Amino acid sequence: MEKKLPLQLNNISMTFPGVKALSNVTFSANQGEVLGLVGVNGAGKSTMMNILGGLLQPDEGAEIIINGETVNIKNPKAAENLGIAFIQQEVAAFETMNVYENVLASDFDKWRIKGSPFLNKKAMKEEAKKLLATLDCHIDVDTPTHSLTVGEKQMVQIARALSQGGQILLFDEPTASLADTETQKLFEIINNLRSQGYIIFYISHYLDEIFEICDRVVALRDGQKTGEAPISEINKEKLVDMMIGHFLETAKRKDARDKADVILRAENITGVKFPKNISFDLHKGEILGVWGLLGSGRSELFNTLLGFDKMVEGKISFNQGGELEEISQKDFYKHVGYLTEGRHHNGVFLDMTIAENITSSDLERFASKGIGILNNKKEKEESRKYMKQVNVKAVDENMIVSKLSGGNQQKVIISKWMLKDPDILFMDEPTKGVDVGAKAEIQNLIFDRSEEGVSFVVVSSELEEIMNLCDRIIVIAEGKLVGEVNRDEFSKEALMAGIVKQEEKVEN
Ligand SMILES: Nc1ncnc2c1ncn2[C@@H]1O[C@H](COP(=O)(O)OP(=O)(O)OP(=O)(O)O)[C@@H](O)[C@H]1O
Ligand SMILES: [Mg+2]
């Protein structure tokens, strides 16, 4: 029998001020195994990975044993030396470096020409190319990393892990920003690495993925292990039960609403590249979906309409309780909320508290009359209300947002826009990184608000989500509007039809 490289984690605890993120978690992982780590937002998954990656030190009493030897992972370098490599939750790459530099970034010294301060760039490029080729990735290694797609950046990260001679790979929500085809490619690579004997940790809120790629799962809840099973012995209900302890009703739109007045008419919206001549109406209280493949120009439509990207041509008319009237982008923006896709780039103030973030969308409301001083008490009270509504897991409203788990940060952003209570809320991937339970809570919140007359325009890459949520969906491909589907006709085929036609046109 081949020699096994098992990883044993004993009594792992992690205490942050006010939070016990992990308590006495014990489990093991085997060579050639993909181990899924599942649990709701804030359960402790990333914390566990950060301990293995040397970014956090567990509490006294923890024991990590690799291949029979007790190890001390005191920093990321120590993790690297032990063959542990991290593929992070939010893709981390040195954006200004070229691909080959990024692949070999862990040890430039190795590539210095003997007796000279210079690097042997030719050899470096060859090595990077070779490593990427093992991942079936054939990008030009001279490309600046910032111009790669998220999927390609991830390949670069994996190649970097392999270049360090990693044996244990930690994937923390690797597919959150990937297109379907990129996810499939990633799975092929993970399968391949499994057969080569790597130990692979896999974290995801997409339960379908867990069933597709994992051999075994360990479930965490409130920092404790609540279950462990080979994937072949459980089903979705059992998995959700291990994660949250009860059966879960998914949120679903009852019926498409009767069409109310048009609140927004967008005509010929055209940006520099995308969108191209897009027109649509949005009704009061309607939830309108925007469907398209990654790169089809969905986010660009939002950015152009809302004035973040240049609008080359287009007319926006808005109904302020009477008739549709043309409105400038600046005035239009006063009536809307915009939940952007890139949480860390422009969605949240990481160094500020939860309360400050939630109230930032409408600070005027919290200013004491006439003197422009914030009423902190009111700010905090109101924030607590929203935190409760979407179930933000935190010590209290004074917690700094960077210390929240990924999914809880997303919930803070949702709260922020719900607080502004705009007439129209644009949401780009609203439930990205959010767990199954919170997803339903957020969707229900959207339903409730739409009943009150708020209109929504939602981009989601998840077919199931967009079909559950929306009254009507417009379809976009290559920056153009290629279809519109009403709720009673929703199906994958109907949504893909326009896209397929458009792609054929482009190819011919
Ligand atoms: N640096 C920190 N300071 C204080 N608390 C922290 C810190 N890092 C994490 N926590 C807390 O530890 C708990 C576990 O967080 P963790 O990031 O491990 O969750 P997770 O399971 O990865 O969740 P998600 O699915 O949302 O990413 C959370 O309550 C979080 O707020
Ligand atoms: Mg996490």
DSSP, residue by residue, 108-144 = SGGGBPTTSS-B-HHHHHHHHHHHHHHTT----TTSB
Q: How far apart are the CA of 90 and the centre of ligand 2, in A? A: 10
Does pLDDT of 251 surpass 90?
no
What's the pLDDT at 247? 62
Who wins on pLDDT, 10 or 369?
A: 10
Q: How far apart are the CA of 84 and the centre of ligand 1, in A? A: 21
Question: Is the CB of 292 inside a 6 Å radius of any atom of ligand 1?
Answer: no
Question: Is the CB of 445 inside a 6 Å radius of any atom of ligand 1?
Answer: no
49 CA closest ligand 1 atom index: 18
Per-residue pLDDT, averaged over 271-297, amounts to 93
Q: What is the DSSP letter of 353?
A: B
b/e per residue 195-211 (b: at least 16 CB within 10 A):
eeebbbbbbbbebebbb
Which one of the ligands is nearest to 40 CA?
1
Range(s) within the chain of domains with CATH label 3.40.50.300 = 7-244, 249-335+422-508
How many whole angstroms separate alpha carbon 67 and alpha carbon 468? 47
Per-residue pLDDT, averaged over 476-491, amounts to 93
Per-residue pLDDT, averaged over 136-161, amounts to 87
Does pLDDT of 1 surpass 60?
no
Q: In percent, how much of the chain has pLDDT > 70?
A: 93
Question: Is the CB of 88 inside a 6 Å radius of any atom of ligand 1?
Answer: no
Does pLDDT of 154 surpass 80?
yes
Nearest CA to ligand 1 atom 27: 406
43 CA closest ligand 1 atom index: 21
50 CA closest ligand 1 atom index: 18
What's the pLDDT at 96? 79
What's the pLDDT at 255? 61
Does pLDDT of 120 surpass 80?
yes
Nearest CA to ligand 1 atom 24: 41
- Per residue in 37-95, pLDDT (tens digit) is 999 999 999 999 999 999 999 999 999 999 999 999 999 989 988 999 988 655 566 77
Return the minimum-mean-pLDDT range out of 127-131, 365-369, 418-422, 475-479: 365-369
> Coil, strand, or helix at residue 433?
coil
407 CA closest ligand 1 atom index: 26
Who wins on pLDDT, 291 or 106?
A: 291
What's the pLDDT at 344? 61
What's the pLDDT at 482? 94
Return the minimum-mean-pLDDT range out of 184-193, 330-339, 382-391, 432-441: 432-441
Nearest CA to ligand 1 atom 7: 403
How many whole angstroms separate alpha carbon 93 and alpha carbon 159? 12
Return the minimum-mean-pLDDT range out of 259-268, 340-349, 410-419, 425-434: 340-349
Per-residue pLDDT, averaged over 470-481, amounts to 94
Nearest CA to ligand 1 atom 8: 403
> Coil, strand, or helix at residue 460?
coil
Does pLDDT of 2 surpass 50?
no
Give every CB contact of residue 19 below 8 A, 6+ residues apart in sequence: 395
What's the pLDDT at 114? 84
- CA dihedral 212→217→222→223, nearest 10 degrees, is -130
Domain 7-244 has CATH 3.40.50.300: yes
Q: Which CATH class is domain 249-335+422-508?
A: alpha beta
Does pLDDT of 230 surpass 90?
yes
Per-residue pLDDT, averaged over 436-450, amounts to 87
Who wins on pLDDT, 67 or 375?
A: 67
Region of 24 (left: φ > 0; alpha: ψ -120 to 50; beta: rest) is left
Q: Is 229 buried (19+), middle (13-18) or exposed (0-12) by CB count in 10 A?
A: middle
Return the minimum-mean-pLDDT range out of 155-169, 199-213, 215-229: 155-169
Contact 186, 175 (CB under 8 A): yes
Per-residue pLDDT, averaged over 247-251, amounts to 65
- CA dihedral 100→102→106→112, nearest 10 degrees, is 40
Q: Is 141 buried (19+), middle (13-18) or exposed (0-12) by CB count in 10 A?
A: buried
42 CA closest ligand 1 atom index: 19
